[in-house]
Amino acid sequence: MDIWQQILDFEPFLRLLDIKAEVLGPDDVLLRLIVRQEVANHLGGLHGGAQFTLGESTALTAAVFSLGMQLDQVAVLTRGATINYQKMALGDLTAHARVVHEERESLRDAWNTKKRARLNVPVEIADATGQVVTVLNVECLILPRS
């Protein structure tokens, strides 16, 4: 089973929104959300809640790749997040987060000593023209899956 299928099995809400994986590591995570009536707002743009879910999902996926653990071994949660809607999101959106290699050693040290790790993941959401319309910073908490 591929990693995106595993993520969808763990988080069925992503299926409901029909979020697609475009790139999954080793350096980047890129997820896409196609605009349709069910996720649009009253102005025809993508609803803010759908944008948040797209960005949060991108961050959590990048956190798993940053720690370098198998998905069935960890539970990744959002501890906190900030979001800044910069302009109306029209058309299909793509969320991008970088896998954090520089912090992998400290993440693994925290994991090995405390069986938990925290990571802040910045995410940019861009429209079909590539213009950034929304930015998030997601504080991810990684715990053992029980």
CA dihedral (28, 33, 39, 43) positive or negative: positive
* For residue 1, pLDDT beyond 90: no
Architecture of domain 3-144: Roll (3.10)
Rounded-to-integer distance, Cα 21 and Cα 94, Å: 10
Coil, helix or strand for 25? coil
Return the pLDDT at 39: 87
Interatomic CA distance for residues 42 and 53, integer angstroms? 18
Give the residue with greater pLDDT, 44 vs 131: 131
pLDDT in tens, 29-59: 999 999 888 888 888 888 999 999 999 999 9
Q: For 93-124, how does the pLDDT look when each residue is reduced to its tens digit (9 = 90+)?
A: 999 998 877 777 888 899 899 999 999 999 99
Q: In this structure, are residues 30 and 96 in contact, taking their beta carbons and an 8 Å threshold?
A: yes
Residue 15: both structure tokens together? 């299926």
Ranges of beta strands (E only) in the chain are 20-24, 28-33, 74-85, 93-98, 117-126, 132-144
Break the chain into its structural domains and give their ranges. 3-144
